[in-house]
Structure 1
Amino acid sequence: METLRFPSHTLSPFPFTHPSPKHTLNTAVSLSAKKKSTIEGLSEELKAIASQNLDFAPSRRRVREAFSEVHQQLDHFLFKTAPAGIRTAEWYERNSRGLEIFCKSWMPEPNVLIKAALCFCHGYGSTCTFFFEGVAKRIAASGYAVYAMDYPGFGLSEGLHGYIPSFEDLVDDIIEHYRKINERPEVRDLPRFILGQSMGGAIALKAQLKEPNNWDGVILVAPMCKISDEMLPTAAVLKVLNLLSKVMPKAKLFPNRDLSELTFREPGKRKVAGYNVISYDDPTRLKTGMELLSATQDVESQLQKVSAPLLILHGAADKVTDPLASQFLYEKASSKDKTLKIYEGSYHGILEGEPDDTIFAVHNDIISWLDCRCSVK
């Protein structure tokens, strides 16, 4: 295992601030429209489209369609170097809770033997498309069937944008969907892995804890598995927020903080991130914030129960999720096969926001780890 010096100052995976209870009450306003687009070089028509209310899935789907050609022209390592010949499919399916879920797959070329299934869990506010398209294509080109879905309320799936009424339900949605994926004929008898990024790391961990024998390995990228104590709201504010979450759960009460500078080390890649126009970047909804806090506390209390083969990847300079928490997870997990890799100087977005050579190295580390565990099957 690579041992590196960790930064002394880190921020929590959830950008809490410490407003007074009075300020919290006065800011209980749910925005009715997305803020005006600040993307440079867009036509006025596309700016208007990007600025519309994205609360519900039909509008998010229209916006994504309107930007499809623009996305194909973006200047980013992931898009420019994506392997050709990858077979992709997109579809919608209704889950057991009656929600229409957006799903996507990336398959290697027909003449490439599939080694395993890899199921992806995206981060808070993000989507299973856009940047992950490039990541998925690279992994698929190495012989893996890659699957992903947008959570209810995120991306192209149904649900109020950015709203997580129950983190446990969200985990169950993931388990339900990927259980069906793992029964598909093309991957039914193959190893199965789950990859979680940031908040998706907490989801992947909880999925493994609920079904410990269902995965041949868990890959965590800058996982949200602990919130630093110093970043939590004061006890008084937390009490107010908890009470308010019961009466106005959908209100966007947590002050917004732009985390793009903490996620993308390279300014050029930070600008490209703005084109993921269906991501959620408004102030966090009250119930969502409380659910994220509860989920990280639950995960932290069960780290010793994590038993699957484990790969943890984290940027040493990450100030969104704490790399020390990944070190703690590595030490506490009961997994006999576990690996921790820390990337010196790297920020939160190690899959997409670093210099090209670092992104390439992170992807290669994931693929190499998968290859080693599939070769013995």
Structure 2
Amino acid sequence: MDSSLTLRQLQQPRSNVILRDSDHSIGNLRICRRPTSLRRRLSSKSTSLVTRTRQIITAKKRIEGVSEELNKIASQNLNLASTRRRVRSAFVDVQQQLDHVLFKMAPPGIRTNEWFEINSRGVEIFCKSWLPKAGIPIKAALCFCHGYGDTCTFFFEGIAKRIAASGFAVYAMDYPGFGLSEGLHGYIPSFDALADDVIEQYSNIKVRPEVVGLPRFIMGQSMGGAVTLKVHLKQPHEWDGVILVAPMAKIAEDVTPAAAVLKVLALMSKVVPEAKLFPQKDLAELAFRDPRKRQLADYNVISYSDQMRLRTAVELLKATHDIESQLEKVSSPLLVLHGAADKVTDPMVSKFLYEKASSKDKTLKLYEEGYHSILEGEPDDRILDVLGDIVSWLDFHCALK
């Protein structure tokens, strides 16, 4: 599941930050209004604040149906990629046996491969591919961008296999700090750098022998939709089409923190960037309409579900503001899919994106009663319908090439 930053959750700073005439208060940290005093107070308290946040141990929900040993493994601190990789290895077989349409109806014969690459910044990136079974010609390459807190090694496994069975080579990566890639868990020091990491990795993918010369598409889900849009805006002529699933593309004005609050948060993010100061709710109830599937979200054992790190929150706010200011520059063939009852990212924002984009070839599909995770948390028939819509759109646009 995508433990995504909900747009409405961005209202939290307004309630947690008490603004007075003479000071600002954030939690137990009192910040003087004058910039010089602000820096001095932040510097003197930053060490203790970071220490306190590091001492916070989030009680992880017990996973029903697995052994005490596996629950103990899943409860480990996941800050380091090495730990996340061990935890994933312990659960990979269990995950594939879950009673979910994406796993139990996975097409046979899909060729998969996993590997690590050191990128130009020296970060070890986890990548995975799903190719059609031998003998089926590859129509195009589809590169995927996952949501906040997520990984490409859980629910997306089943999504990728079904798309690959229709003749597409599917590729995915975990961002630095997420999933199996190196980096502090849940930490985005720069959204621009993250987008550049994605561009670099998928530039390498596009010249692989099995897909060189074929159409190439990029698909992003939730925060991954923001990543995808950022990538497209940076290289507008490099993709034959963009697919966005419940994208985080704009922060609504009524849930954006006040300007004074944003200034304080931006300054604090430079002093204690890794501090976990933003409340993080369990979004499974909001994201998964099917209660039975909602319970399976607990098996996404390497997802990031702690409080959001301060720099990460500031970077997401900055990124969506930047994307919003450039939506008219979105020019690629565009497919936007969104649950009409989504309370994590607003379907009206997808409508706004659809209207603003300059693409001559664009489609918006809103799924009645659909929640946020329309590819993972809906009834089986809805999940298969959404996957069918993606494949049909890809087939149509491949035929145009």
Q: Which of the five TM-score ranges fits, normalised by the shorter chain?
A: over 0.9
The Cα of 1:168 is off from its aligned counterpart by 0.1
Aligned to 1:24: 27
Q: Does 1:157 align with 2:181?
A: yes
Aligned to 1:169: 193
SS of aligned partner of 2:196: helix
d(CA) in 2 for partners of 1:124 and 1:42? 26
Aligned to 1:320: 344
d(CA) in 1 for partners of 2:8 and 2:242? 19
* 5+ residue gaps, structure 2: 1-5, 18-23, 30-48
The Cα of 1:366 is off from its aligned counterpart by 0.2
Letter in 2 for 1:90: E
User: Identity percentage over the alignment?
Assistant: 67
Aligned to 2:123: 99
Contact 1:34–1:52 (Cα < 8 Å) also in 2:
no
The Cα of 1:15 is off from its aligned counterpart by 4.2
The Cα of 1:85 is off from its aligned counterpart by 0.4
Contact 2:140–2:398 (Cα < 8 Å) also in 1:
yes
Aligned to 1:221: 245
d(CA) in 1 for partners of 2:284 and 2:220? 19
d(CA) in 2 for partners of 1:110 and 1:176? 28
SS of aligned partner of 1:45: helix
The Cα of 1:338 is off from its aligned counterpart by 0.4
d(CA) in 2 for partners of 1:212 and 1:197? 19
**Which digits, 9 at most, give the CA deviation of each residue in 1:125-151, with x for residues without a partner?**
000111000000000000000000000
Q: Does 1:138 align with 2:162?
A: yes
SS of aligned partner of 2:71: helix
The Cα of 1:14 is off from its aligned counterpart by 5.1
* 5+ residue gaps, structure 1: 1-10
Query: What are the within-5 Å matches in structure 2 for residues 1-377 of structure 1?
Result: 12=7, 15-17=10-12, 18-20=15-17, 21-26=24-29, 29-32=52-55, 33=57, 35-377=59-401
SS of aligned partner of 1:253: strand
d(CA) in 1 for partners of 2:307 and 2:266? 16
Q: TM-score scaled to structure 2, two decimals?
A: 0.89
The Cα of 1:22 is off from its aligned counterpart by 2.7
**Which digits, 9 at most, give the CA deviation of each residue in 1:203-256, with x for residues without a partner?**
111111111110000000000001122212233433322221010000001112
Q: TM-score scaled to structure 1, two decimals?
A: 0.94
Letter in 1 for 2:119: N
d(CA) in 2 for partners of 1:289 and 1:106? 32
Q: What is the alpha-carbon root mean square deviation over aligned residues?
A: 1.4
d(CA) in 1 for partners of 2:127 and 2:223? 18
d(CA) in 1 for partners of 2:159 and 2:142? 12
SS of aligned partner of 1:274: helix
d(CA) in 1 for partners of 2:239 and 2:274? 34
Name the structure with the higher helix share. Answer: 2
Letter in 1 for 2:365: K
The Cα of 1:46 is off from its aligned counterpart by 1.3
Letter in 2 for 1:12: L
d(CA) in 2 for partners of 1:344 and 1:215? 30
Contact 1:34–1:54 (Cα < 8 Å) also in 2:
no
Contact 2:148–2:222 (Cα < 8 Å) also in 1:
yes
| Residues 193, 145 of structure 1: alpha-carbon distance in 2 compared, 3 angstrom cutoff | same
Where do 4+ consecutive residues of structure 1 move more than 6 Å? none
Greater displacement, 155-164 / 65-74: 65-74
Aligned to 1:4: none
Q: Give the paired residue count.
A: 367
Greater displacement, 42-51 / 340-349: 42-51
The Cα of 1:40 is off from its aligned counterpart by 1.5
